[in-house]
Amino acid sequence: MNGVDIALVDWSRAQFALTAMYHWIFVPLTLGLSFIIAIMETIYVKTGDEEWKKITKFWMTLFGINFAIGVATGIILEFEFGTNWSNYSWFVGDIFGAPLAIEGIMAFFLESTFIAIMFFGWNKVSKKFHLVSSWLVAVGSNLSALWILVANGWMQNPVGMVFNPETARNEMLDFWALLFSPTAINKFLHVISSGYVLAAVFVVGVSSWFLLKKRKTVFARRSILVAAVFGLISSAYLILTGDESARQVYKVQPMKFAAMEGLYDGEQNAPLVAIGIMKKAPTPENPKADEFAFKIEIPNFLSYMAALDPNAFVPGINDMINGNEQWGIMSYYDKIEKGKVAINALRDFKDAKEKGDKTKADAALKDFKENYAFFGYGYYDDPHDLIPNVPITFYSFHIMVILGIHFMILFIVVLVFLYKNKLQKMRWLQYVALWTIPLVYLAQQAGWVVAELGRQPWVVQDLMPTLSAVSNINKSSVIITFWLFALTFTILLIAEIKIMLTQIVKESKNEGGH
Amino acid sequence: MNILKSVFRFYYEGFKSMTVGRKLWLIIFIKLFIMFAILKIFFFPDFLKTNFNTDDERSKYVIEQLTK
């Protein structure tokens, strides 16, 4: 693509990443805490024990703080689509519009009705109606996330649409293919279960602080019981959905899959790098460079993880760059050629239509349709520009997985000591639980880094690279808004932490309220 | 009319009895003001809507951008 300002692309990406990452600090706690609160309130309604009501109301207050600070931070992403990513917004057409519109309507009705009943409805509506409202808030906020993740799933694996070369827009052919795309469904399930784990760690961690301070121990132990059981079940589900998500990545984004494992040369019976330190990555000039300084491998496990077959071939980065005839992998060199044919055919089609030359337009359209699947590759000359940042993808993936295992072990250990009635004496475990709170946020961000940075350079897989998606606007305006957002979101985050800490300390001294 | 009155009272009394919530509503309003009255208007105009009048013009422009 001629005349693209790479600095503009980078700043636009940085701005989007900053906004999305800050937004994702708030969202997962809402997703998970809403269910934990609903479970606690269910116990209250079932038992009539006022202590459970107090517990429910306390966590509801923290939910409210997080919700209030985080609400609408995602709207900025939509502003950015229209201003910084106008080519992309136009190109995706109604594919993105429909899910986002459903999400907007759902969020509005959810927030204006059931959350209000949750907070204002104590003693004004019946216990059961209040409980139903709490459950509806939980279900509704998770369904709200579904639509965003369906849209994201489509970007990772575009299905159910057809590109209209006359309007340059993708048009929806099959809404159900879009909604039930395995990529979208796995993404949704993996993301919401990660939110459940985050919320469970949050509740266990904060409650452990109560135990450390030797305040409200019954309150803390009950909160830990609900959160750790919920967290353990969610962790198991998180691993299952993560496993299935990885298989989807192997199928539709093999370059990302190879980057996640730092795999340059594909192989059968591929081992999984459980822990590794990356060294110098191979380059066209030095293809034999060893990519790892140190690694511990599990034999055959990567092949098994990818295809449920320990003998399966897992392509490496070099297999995709240079192609691999034996395994039927087309090289990026060939894909680039086909992509260039598609881009030129689109240009010829447009020119022929303007001149009223139907024969030429039909011929160009035929070429375009035959090569459209490789459209995005045509913007590149060097296939090596199509490799994502391997070390960042590799480390982010491994940080996410290792921390995911840590959370599961934490829930098990906490439950064992709770069952044995020894949790209050285990100060080391209380400290571990408390300091796991920042780690669970780190794991969340690492997961999104794998998903989004690992699929670079694509904004829509194989069809639109990031560099062709940006608007031709002044770079300085993007830089100004980047810093404005950095400042605004940092203030919001500090406000959230400060208000939450104040509330937690107050509650520990029996002074809570909402 | 009675239903509307009840709904109004529900929200009115709910907001009135808030403690932490008041601070949060203030944050929400300031945040929404910054987002919609400052950022959206001054920094985030819709590029294609602002610069082109019709969808046909927008299509032509995007195809030009994608094929240049």
Q: Nearest residue of A to residue B12 by CA position?
A: A120
By the 8 A CB rule, do A465 and A457 touch?
yes
By the 8 A CB rule, do A502 and A512 touch?
no
Domain parsing of chain B, residue ranges:
2-67
**How far apart (Å, rounded) are the C-alpha atoms in residues A379 and B68?**
10
**How far apart (Å, rounded) are the C-alpha atoms in residues A309 and A206?**
42
Contacts of B10 in chain A (CB under 8 A): 116, 120-121, 124
Nearest CA to A313 out of A345, A344, A346, A268 is that of A268
Q: Nearest residue of B to residue A466 by CA position?
A: B66
Q: How far is B52 from chain A (nearest CA, A)?
A: 12
pLDDT band (50, 70, 90) for residue A113:
confident
Nearest CA to A29 out of A2, A75, A69 is that of A69
With vertex at residue A358, the alpha carbon angle to CA A166 and CA A92, rounded to the nearest 5 degrees, is 10
Contacts of A65 in chain B (CB under 8 A): 20, 24
**Candidate from B10, B44, B59 with C-beta closest to A124:** B10
pLDDT band (50, 70, 90) for residue A94:
confident
- Confidence check: pLDDT of B39 > 90: no
**How far apart (Å, rounded) are the C-alpha atoms in residues A94 and B15?**
39
Could A65 and B11 be called an inter-chain contact, meaning their C-beta atoms sit closer than 8 Å?
A: no
pLDDT in tens, A47-89: 999 999 999 999 999 998 888 888 777 888 888 888 999 999 9
Question: Which comes out higher in pLDDT, residue A500 or A341?
Answer: A341
Contacts of B49 in chain A (CB under 8 A): 82
Could B13 and A120 be called an inter-chain contact, meaning their C-beta atoms sit closer than 8 Å?
A: yes
Provide the chain A residues 428-467 that lie in CB contact (below 8 A) with chain B: none
- Confidence check: pLDDT of A512 > 60: no
**The pairing of beta strand A169-172 with beta strand A267-268:** unpaired
**Candidate from B24, B48, B68 with C-beta closest to A90:** B48
The per-residue pLDDT for A95 is 79
Annotate A279-329 with DSSP letters as a single string: -PPP-SS-TT--SEEEEEEETTHHHHHHHS-TT-EE--HHHHHH-BGGGTB
Could A473 and B24 be called an inter-chain contact, meaning their C-beta atoms sit closer than 8 Å?
A: no
Q: How far is B53 from chain A (nearest CA, A)?
A: 14
Could B28 and A68 be called an inter-chain contact, meaning their C-beta atoms sit closer than 8 Å?
A: yes
C-alpha dist (Å) from residue A410 to A28, A215, A413, A427: 19, 22, 5, 14
**The pairing of beta strand A313-314 with beta strand A458-460:** unpaired
Could A120 and B39 be called an inter-chain contact, meaning their C-beta atoms sit closer than 8 Å?
A: no
Question: Which comes out higher in pLDDT, residue B9 or A286?
Answer: B9
**Candidate from B13, B15, B65 with C-beta closest to A87:** B65
With vertex at residue A156, the alpha carbon angle to CA A394 and CA A83, rounded to the nearest 5 degrees, is 105
C-alpha dist (Å) from residue A121 to A53, A71, A511: 13, 21, 21
Question: Which comes out higher in pLDDT, residue A282 or A394?
Answer: A394
Contacts of B19 in chain A (CB under 8 A): 513-514
pLDDT in tens, A227-242: 999 999 999 999 999 9
**How far apart (Å, rounded) are the C-alpha atoms in residues A177 and A174?**
5
Indicate the helix (H) or strand (E) that contains A464: strand A464-465
Structure ipTM over 0.85, yes or no? no
Q: Give the pLDDT mean for A198-207.
A: 97
Can you read off the two tokens belonging to residue A191? 């993301």
Q: Give the pLDDT mean for A337-343.
A: 96
- Confidence check: pLDDT of B24 > 90: no
Q: Is A170 on the interface with B (CB under 8 A)?
A: no
**How far apart (Å, rounded) are the C-alpha atoms in residues B56 and A460?**
23
Helix, strand or coil, per DSSP, at residue A59: helix
Could B44 and A346 be called an inter-chain contact, meaning their C-beta atoms sit closer than 8 Å?
A: no
Could B43 and A120 be called an inter-chain contact, meaning their C-beta atoms sit closer than 8 Å?
A: no
Which of these ranges, A59-63, A180-184, B24-28, has the smallest mean pLDDT?
A: B24-28
| Owner of token pair 């709490």 | A134
Q: Is A113 on the interface with B (CB under 8 A)?
A: no
Contacts of B43 in chain A (CB under 8 A): 83, 477, 480-481, 484
Nearest CA to A263 out of A281, A247, A243 is that of A281
Could A346 and B63 be called an inter-chain contact, meaning their C-beta atoms sit closer than 8 Å?
A: yes
Could B67 and A492 be called an inter-chain contact, meaning their C-beta atoms sit closer than 8 Å?
A: no
Q: Is A487 on the interface with B (CB under 8 A)?
A: no
**How far apart (Å, rounded) are the C-alpha atoms in residues A80 and A16?**
7
Contacts of A2 in chain B (CB under 8 A): 68
- Contacts A–B by Cβ distance under 8 A: 118
Find the DSSP H helices in A85-216. 86-92, 94-109, 115-120, 127-156, 175-179, 182-212
Helix, strand or coil, per DSSP, at residue A36: helix
Burial of A261 (0-12, 13-18, 19+ CB in 10 A): buried
- Confidence check: pLDDT of A502 > 70: yes
Q: How far is A200 from chain B (nearest CA, A)?
A: 23
C-alpha dist (Å) from residue B5 to A114, A118, A125, B10, B11: 18, 20, 16, 9, 10
**How far apart (Å, rounded) are the C-alpha atoms in residues A409 and A398?**
17
**How far apart (Å, rounded) are the C-alpha atoms in residues A338 and A323?**
14
The per-residue pLDDT for A389 is 93
pLDDT in tens, A209-226: 999 998 888 999 999 999
Quick one: angle between helices A182-212 and A390-419, nearest 10? 50
Could B68 and A2 be called an inter-chain contact, meaning their C-beta atoms sit closer than 8 Å?
A: yes
By the 8 A CB rule, do A266 and A327 touch?
yes
Indicate the helix (H) or strand (E) that contains B28: helix B20-32
Annotate A365-420 with DSSP letters as a single string: HHHHHHHGGGGGGGG-S-GGGGS--HHHHHHHHHHHHHHHHHHHHHHHHHHHHHHT
Could A83 and B68 be called an inter-chain contact, meaning their C-beta atoms sit closer than 8 Å?
A: no
Q: Nearest residue of B to residue A3 by CA position?
A: B68
